[in-house]
Structure 1
Amino acid sequence: MHHTARTVHRRVACVRSSGRSPLGALEEAFLALATAASPLTLPAHLVCDEPEQPALPVDQFRARLAHPATSSAQRERSWREVVRRAQQLGEPWGTVAVAMAVPVLRRVLARLARPAHLERAEVEQEALAAVAVAVRSVDVDAADVGRELFAAADRAVHRLAYAARRQAAREAGSAAVRLGRLARLEGRPGCREAADAAGVADAGRQEDEYTVLARAVRAGVVGIAEARLIARTRLEREPMQRLADERGVSVRQLYRHRAAAEQHLSTHLREQLREQ
């Protein structure tokens, strides 16, 4: 049973690093099982009242399982059988059990109010991991095993989205205080000395750049979180990986955010120069 969750976690970890969709990678593995020379099958009578053949490849079985004409009783007994095999036999049935949930997971993710800075791949990974864990622990004699798996995924992705929104709010609040202080330094005597006392390298140049960021935030050119990203990685030389871990996004996505923010800032500064 533990092997099921470990297998899915390894698979989604690999696709996360490569930028591929975790759901897409799982689908590839699932379809490979269904289209092999000796395809993996399930009893047809679980989803068909009068089956024409004794067994169905797992992809055809899933299509029947998701079909509106399939009764709730057929779905319940199908999920029990799939999860029972995953728990008792391990792989590849663990992969099959999680992949059986993919059609519903796509609907769950489509309904999710996902913050803009939260990558879809991260959400997909969270959903798949939640289903993998639930497959391992759910009671196969429960009234509706499938619903238990879907509910676990739904809870997981909503927790992830909530945490991302909270983190963004905390960052925005902290950055607002800091940039506000920097903005108030503008034009005051002793600005360079204050920066030197704080141990900031090349104080005069950096204070000017901080002030530019503060002005850009006030003008609505960049957001607080974007200005903080530029300040911490460009001026303070913090590793991009550290900020990516804090915000729960990939380094690649954070680089894209910074590049877009810097492009807006650059355009704004050029326009100001033309006006002078």
Structure 2
Amino acid sequence: MTVSDPDWPDSPLDAVDAAFAALTCGPGTMTLDLDTLGPDTGLPDGVVPLPALRDWLLRHPRAYAARDAVWRDLVRRARLDGPSWVIAAVAMAMPALRRNAGRLRVGWSGDAADLDAEILTGFLTALRDRVDLAKPAPHAALCMAAWRAGHEMLKRAGTAVPVEDVEHVTGPRTPHVPYGHPDLLVRRAARLGLIEHTDLDPYIDLRLGHRSIEPIAARLGITVDALRKRMNGIDERLADALAKGLLTSVVSPKARAYLQNQSVHRTRTRTGRVTTRPGRTAPPAAAAA
């Protein structure tokens, strides 16, 4: 069966199930080596086909460590290893996605396939970029994103059933910065030397674009942990600079020189070429030129 076949399902969720069935039948079925997912997960041993792993997770609903380990691996593969793993990730979450669709369809008079498509879009957006694998329960975060997308569609159509406190379980949002457009603020920080030029685009993608960290780290040739540490360092420098007025006022030549010197030092440290230590004097506050 292919997408062009007349028997191809109309529902996007049914289509994913059909594609997953094709990927997991025969000798080339998709599997996970559960021994590579870390100790103390409680998972079965060895290489397990994905359909069997999905059944195991359904039979063990309180195996939280196991579910987190599996889903961190699935999300990484979906982000880095191609479309087959995207299909696999959606199919592994299909029981929860179908429950969401069934509950949201109550009172919905429109095409069920449209609602399914919205749910799938919400899941895929979170899978691609939104879910942070450093946080617990990635499966729950993905399914909540799918639910939220379907619920927003019903709200736009005027048929949504209110869900108490739904907005309080959607995770952190980008804070409103009172200093103008965040992108301009970040670029000013880069000009001052608070962000190295090689980190500017990754920082904008991650912090402002909410892109997923794994493909960016792979593109840079560094580990996810190293990139996360680098981005956290930038966060701290920006917060300190905002507190001191360095990003919102005219910066004195002395302060600018200090920041540039610190940037050179960070770059040399990163590449192992530190020869001298920068001055230890604290950076002056913003001052009129």
TM-score (normalised: structure 2):
0.48
Q: Answer with 1 or 2: which has the greater Rg.
A: 1
* Larger helix fraction of residues: 1
The higher-RCO structure (CA 8 Å, 6+ apart) is 1
